[in-house]
Amino acid sequence: MAKQGIVYLVGAGPGDPGLITVKGLECIRRAEVLVYDRLASKRLLSYAPKGCEMIYVGKLPDRHTLRQEEINQLLVDKGLEGKVVTRLKGGDPFVYGRGGEEGELLFENNVPFEVVPGITSAISVPAYAGIPVTHRDFTSSFAVITGHEDPNKDESSIAWDKISTGIGTLVFLMGVGNLPFIVQKLVENGRDATTPVALIRWGTRPEQKVLTGTLQDIVKKVQDANFQSPAIIIVGEVVKLRDTLSWFEKKPFFGKRVVVTRSREQASDLSRRIEDLGGEAWEFPAIEITEPEDYTAMDEAIAKIDSYHWLIFTSVNGVDSFFKRLRHHNRDIRDLKGAKLCAIGPKTKERLEEMCLHVEYVPSEYRAEAVLEGLKGKLQSGQRVLMPRADIARKILPETLTQMGAQVDDVVAYRTVRGSGEASILREMLDEKMIHYVTFTSSSTVKNFVEMLGADNIHELLKGVKLVSIGPVTSQSARDLGLTIDIEAPSYTIDGLVEALASK
């Protein structure tokens, strides 16, 4: 029996990728074909599964990649092939998204479909600009109106005589080109020329721009500022609240898009911190954490775990990987009695303490050299040391500990391999100068970032982009590859990295 396809008509929201719905994100993650338009955040594309067919059908005011009829047929064709198709549309599919037309043709061709509503820009974009569409002191009504209607039509489908004075807040979608006509019709039909107006371009994104005025001067202001689409127009007294309620643009990192190169599992903490500051985090996993190819050395160490005097953990990954293998052998923390623990970095210490383990020593500086200095006098010659680490970890720590007289077992607890970041999308964004910062949290993130980008013109692509490093070892790795680090964290932690970003 042939596999039956399905098409999901998904609203991607207004632009901020965090405003996608839970169900919408799930549809992206299960897609075999992703059909997306210009207003859908490119960051959302990174959640599509590997091998997903990506089809861009974006439209500009002056040109279309595909006509709407061709998009409709494309969805039918892919659905009839038995594919899971996610049609990702800016805003909401049924608010000037032409989702109704797409659904009609799917129905006519017996292709199953579902509609996943999105957060419409008509409400969310004004909210990000500090403009509520309703407010008890100003208005209890609002209308969403197309801004695309041809001014030369013999008969308008918009009841200008009714909306001009009968509704408090008017939201025109995609009407920058028609602004003079919109203003003229509103004033002709009784709207006071002193009524406040706001235009919001690329609302909810780092590129958000807001221009305010009144019906009598907004056209000239738009012309003088060369204010371009895509933008929405809000007409009404609620625009006055912007001075009080504007919040997005006041955040310290507003307007900045930051690439996070950590593994996908670990990126969320840094991404959240960036977005709390008002920036947009673009996750480009340059590394992934996987199991060792051979567990022999780790298993031998666990078999004689009670012989070690010290366990040195250099990362949270090392902690997690070690205890996962410990549990695999039906052993637990009671088998660590007598061993002292050293943790490099507060997060590593925190993870050990979550297991009710006491950490004997945390160096003040989170580098191998500082660990060695701090262990002098604590670690005695002849003592046995276990270090569960990455396969590519620097050798200076075990080598120097050996020189100090310790018996060191440096075992591979996990491997760091090249990540799954979508290089083609990132290259396009760098080329369009949409990226402002790239963060590196380890030497391997730098190395893999350069290799994955695979661009002969990498220095041109990174022109104007500030490169941010978590510490001197990572910075040196970047310099070895010909990159210039602009910002280095004062303390070699994620907190330090965020602090460095926030201060710039």
Catalytic annotation, residues: 37, 59, 174
Sign of CA dihedral 30, 36, 39, 43: positive
Closest-CA residue to 426 (of 42, 65, 39, 57): 42
CB within 8 A of 478, min separation 6: which ones?
440, 446, 467, 469, 484, 485
Rg for the chain (alpha carbons), in Å?
Answer: 28
C-alpha to C-alpha distance for 180 and 184, rounded to whole angstroms: 6
3-state secondary structure of 417: strand
Distance in angstroms (rounded) separating the CA atoms of residues 184 and 169: 17
The H or E element containing residue 71 is helix 68-80
C-alpha 453/C-alpha 265 separation (Å) is 21
CA-wise closest residue to 258 among 494, 89, 14:
494
Helix (H, G, I), strand (E, B), or coil: what is residue 480?
Answer: helix
Structural tokens at position 297? 């050395």
C-alpha to C-alpha distances, 306 to 358, 385, 395, nearest whole angstrom: 17, 11, 24
Number of Cβ within a 10 Å radius of residue 56: 13
In angstroms, rounded to a whole number, what is the distance separating the alpha carbons of residues 153 and 29?
43
Three-state secondary-structure class, residue 491: coil
Please provide residue 484's backbone torsions phi and psi, each rounded to the nearest 5 degrees. -110, 120
Name residues whose C-beta falls within 8 Å of residue 1's C-beta, 6 or more positions apart in sequence: none
Other residues' Cβ atoms within 10 Å of the Cβ of residue 389: 24
CA distances from 168 to 130, 142, 162, 237, 292 (A): 17, 6, 11, 8, 64
Distance CA 233, CA 175 (A): 7
Tokens of 209: 């721009």
Of the candidates 107, 127, 126, the one whose C-alpha atom is nearest the C-alpha of residue 115 is 107
HSE-CB for 329 with a 13 A CA cutoff = 19
